[in-house]
């Protein structure tokens, strides 16, 4: 068996050590004669050995203050595109929020929010906070275009909401600067079908009256995320991934590795005329690196040949074309080195 270096944008690579642990526990977890996801989510075993430690370790990793709730929601990040406006728009009398319009994912969040209220659109560069906004939403890492905003927008008293799907746990963040953070698990944490929410407690309880129960964040707050059967497998795996990250030295340690990985790849891209990356240097993503060979045919050949070399899922998103290397926490530095060596060799053969 050869495990490839998997550059998929999501569902993304999960650390091999985490999968090995799942493998060793899948038939008999903690001597109960069943796996962690074949037992009641309300039983003592699941509560005390899965969901509570997962929350505890997640709080520890991101240094989450006590006045923030952590919620496990059993669906993807896209559900929050509707949940955020349904839960927060009514904080202001005029039903208004501001969205930073920076790419395909923020665009999808905007489209959904527009169904429920007045949505003011701004670019990251010319955004200014206004007190009549219920909240301000942005997407710090645009996964598809490979654009990342390294500074947090200043929003004053207006709660800042962030879709952190493709950067959560990749670097330390000052949670106090945010009102609500949501993130799908399948990029930097666990398999798809689970998302995590960090929500300041004073923002709970503003949902529009017609909000469905499972779209109301208060439902998750009041039930410890157990109003209905959660994604028991996803939460179990997220818990293992948190333990893995703590063992690596936590978010502070991984951020150094992440920066080194990205820097190596960008340095190489900058050193050659064969490959191109068109993102403004100050907005280059540390997680998703989009690049192009001189033409679409070579891009296609690059995908074919890299796949044979066990460097998989390097095809860019269809909306932007080209190639994309997603190098989340689970991608070892050796994977990036292998990619750069392959790129050099490919350039030599086709330049």
Catalytic residue ranges = 105, 163, 187
- Asked if residue 165 binds ligand PLP (CB under 6 A), the reply is yes
- Asked if residue 139 binds ligand PLP (CB under 6 A), the reply is yes
User: CB of residue 143 vs ligand PLP: minimum separation in angstroms?
Assistant: 3
- Asked if residue 85 binds ligand PLP (CB under 6 A), the reply is no
**Cβ closest to ligand PLP, residue 107 vs residue 294:** 107
* 196 CA to centre of own chain: 9
Residue in 55, 90, 101, 163 binding ligand PLP, rule: CB under 6 A:
163
- Asked if residue 143 binds ligand PLP (CB under 6 A), the reply is yes
**Cβ closest to ligand PLP, residue 103 vs residue 117:** 103
Residue in 7, 46, 105, 206 binding ligand PLP, rule: CB under 6 A:
105
CA distance 110 to 119: 7
Count of residues that bind ligand PLP according to CB under 6 A:
13
Phi, then psi, of 269 in degrees rounded to 5: -60, -40
Residue in 13, 29, 72, 76 binding ligand PLP, rule: CB under 6 A:
76
Residue in 13, 77, 83, 240 binding ligand PLP, rule: CB under 6 A:
77
Residue in 117, 159, 179, 184 binding ligand PLP, rule: CB under 6 A:
184
Q: Which tokens sit at 178?
A: 């945010």
Q: Summarize as ranges the residues that interact with ligand PLP (CB under 6 A).
A: 10, 76-78, 105, 139, 143, 163, 165-166, 184, 187, 192
């Amino acid at each position: 068996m050869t495990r490839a270096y998997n550059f998929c944008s999501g569902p993304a690579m999960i650390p091999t050590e985490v999968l090995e642990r799942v493998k060793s526990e899948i038939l008999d977890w903690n001597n109960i004669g069943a796996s962690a996801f074949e037992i009641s989510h309300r039983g003592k075993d699941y509560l005390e050995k899965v969901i509570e430690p997962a929350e505890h370790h997640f709080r520890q990793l991101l240094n989450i203050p006590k006045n923030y709730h952590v919620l496990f929601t059993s669906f993807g990040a896209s559900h929050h595109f509707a949940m955020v406006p349904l839960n927060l728009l009514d904080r202001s009398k005029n039903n208004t929020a501001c969205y930073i319009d920076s790419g395909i994912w923020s665009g999808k969040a905007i489209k959904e929010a527009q169904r429920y209220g007045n949505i003011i659109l701004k670019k990251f560069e010319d955004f200014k906070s206004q007190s009549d906004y219920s909240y301000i939403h942005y997407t710090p890492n645009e996964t598809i275009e490979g654009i990342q905003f390294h500074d947090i927008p200043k929003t004053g008293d207006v709660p800042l909401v962030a879709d952190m799907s493709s950067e959560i746990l990749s670097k330390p963040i000052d949670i106090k600067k945010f009102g609500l953070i949501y993130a799908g698990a399948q990029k930097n944490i666990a398999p798809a079908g689970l998302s995590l929410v960090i929500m300041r407690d004073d923002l709970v309880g503003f949902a529009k009256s017609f909000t469905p129960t499972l779209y109301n964040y208060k439902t998750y707050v009041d039930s410890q995320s157990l109003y209905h059967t959660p994604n028991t497998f996803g939460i179990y795996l997220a818990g293992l991934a948190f333990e893995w990250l703590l063992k690596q030295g936590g978010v502070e340690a991984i951020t150094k590795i992440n920066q080194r990985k990205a820097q190596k790849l960008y340095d190489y891209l900058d050193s050659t005329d064969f490959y191109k990356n068109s993102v403004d240097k100050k907005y280059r993503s540390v997680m998703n690196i989009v690049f192009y060979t001189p033409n679409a045919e070579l891009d296609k050949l690059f995908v074919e040949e890299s796949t044979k070399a066990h460097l998989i899922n390097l095809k860019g998103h269809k909306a932007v074309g080209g190639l994309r290397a997603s190098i989340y926490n689970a991608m070892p530095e050796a994977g990036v080195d292998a990619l750069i060596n392959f790129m050099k060799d490919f350039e030599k053969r086709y330049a």
